Amino acid sequence: MQANKSEDDNEYTCHSTNPSGRNQHKDCSPKGDHKVADLLCEYHWRNISDHKLISKLLQAEHSIKMSEATVAHCRRELGLFGSCSTAALLPEVTKCQLVLDQLADDPSGRCGPHIVKELIANKTGVMLPHKYIRDQMMLREPEGFTAHEPSGKKLSQKPLVMLSPHHEWSGHGHDKLTQIGFPIWGICDVWSGSNHLKSAVAYLYLSLCYQLGGMPIQTTADCGSTTTEIYGFANALREHFSPHLSLDELPAHKFLKSVHNTTIECGWLCLCLQWGENVKVYWEAGSGMYNEINPRQYDLVQWLWPKLVQQELNKLWEDFNNHHVRKDSAKKLPSGVSPNVALALHADYQAKNCLQVVDREVVKQLMEKIGGEDLIRFVSVEYEHHAETMFANLGFGELSFHNVWNIFSAMLPLI
């Protein structure tokens, strides 16, 4: 019923007439393979239950051949069930509490049933039917559906056309949290919609190139003072590592107006509605205890809140990349799947990986030359180490929006 990631629960037995698990298929995983059990649990937590899709992902991502029937059998042995089976097995009070817990994490009430369904699966490994979640939300918070209605002015747009993954990265800043002191900058792959969130600009671009071991054919961003360094790095790296691609015929970087940089702008809208508004609510909850003029309080908040915001952004990055978008027959890029699935199975869309390989050591040197990790620090290294030690000693465990101001109050007299 519920996927458990612990090692003890990965023990399972598939009953068959071939107890040794040996057969003529050399690429099949052996019986009782813990790696396969871990992967099936991971796909379940990513809200992927389709046996055919799981079979294809195992082959594409891990070179493991497993038939749809075997996938279904092993999922049953591991207790991994879809939403209908789960709904039939779980007590009503448990199902209801799962929905209520997720609604409690969304004080602004901007998440719809589809998002709530995915978040419950991502956090707990439990899949609930969309209709059940919607009915509970209509019963508990009917006013939330009014908040879900689109309210922004729509521009006339043409369908995006992009060759393949990593052909173009779209970058832009998100300023909605600047008013509380935490601006964000992000990059999104145009073809798949895959997001990469950080808090610096040139350092972000280089760190992403370092992480992936490559760069896109082209990057797009608005023309601002924060993006000029990206323009220089994109041109220099591509000219050095991909000299066969003419910079005159296919520029390494293009400047666009924000309203036309649609891929990343759509991502920011989702981030603002599903997460940003809630961050403001939690921030304002501490307005009566925080005085930014007080240096001790200011320094503690500059360590505590960026740590929390980045932690939650990392989770959101996973949620967005695992989000199953609706099927759109008018869309020329992949739809009906999550960005992670689209990237893993890009060959199914007659696409190829356009990532241009770079020397990671060269990129690392550039990252250090422009300032290194200090560019994404809000406090000194010494303060950070001291605060981390104190946080661990207080025994709060996980930092969250629900306890951040309690931790602030506990740490302030000791810092």
- Using pLDDT thresholds of 50, 70 and 90, give the confidence band for residue 112: confident
Partners of 198 in the beta sheet? 185
Please tell me which residue, 152 or 219, carries the higher pLDDT value: 219
Note the pLDDT of residue 156: 47
SS3 state at 211: helix
Top mean pLDDT of 277-281, 309-313, 400-404 is at: 400-404
Which token pair is 119? Answer: 């978040």
Residue 224 tokens read as 């601002």
Whether the per-residue pLDDT at 106 is higher than 70: the answer is yes
Residue 381's pLDDT is what? 93
Angle between helical axes of 113-124 and 34-45 (0-180°, round to 10): 150
More confident residue, 8 or 378: 378
Question: Over the stretch 341-365, which tens digit does the pLDDT of each residue have?
Answer: 998 999 898 888 999 999 999 999 9
Measured CA to CA, the distance from residue 267 to residue 11 in angstroms comes to: 39
Residue 159 pLDDT greater than 80, yes or no: no
pLDDT for residue 5 is more than 50: no
What is the tens place of the pLDDT at every residue in 55-72?
999 999 999 999 999 999
* pLDDT of 219 strictly over 70: yes
Collapsed DSSP state (helix, strand, coil) of residue 189: strand
pLDDT of 265 reads 63
Neighbours of 192 (CB within 10 A): 26
197-213 average pLDDT score: 79
Is the pLDDT higher at 115 or at 185? 115
Estimate to the nearest angstrom the gap between the alpha carbon of 310 and the chain centroid: 12
| pLDDT given at position 2 | 47
Q: Which residue has the tokens 């799962």?
A: 98
Q: Give per-residue pLDDT as tens, 78-99.
A: 999 999 999 999 999 999 999 9
Indicate whether 6 pLDDT > 50. Answer: no
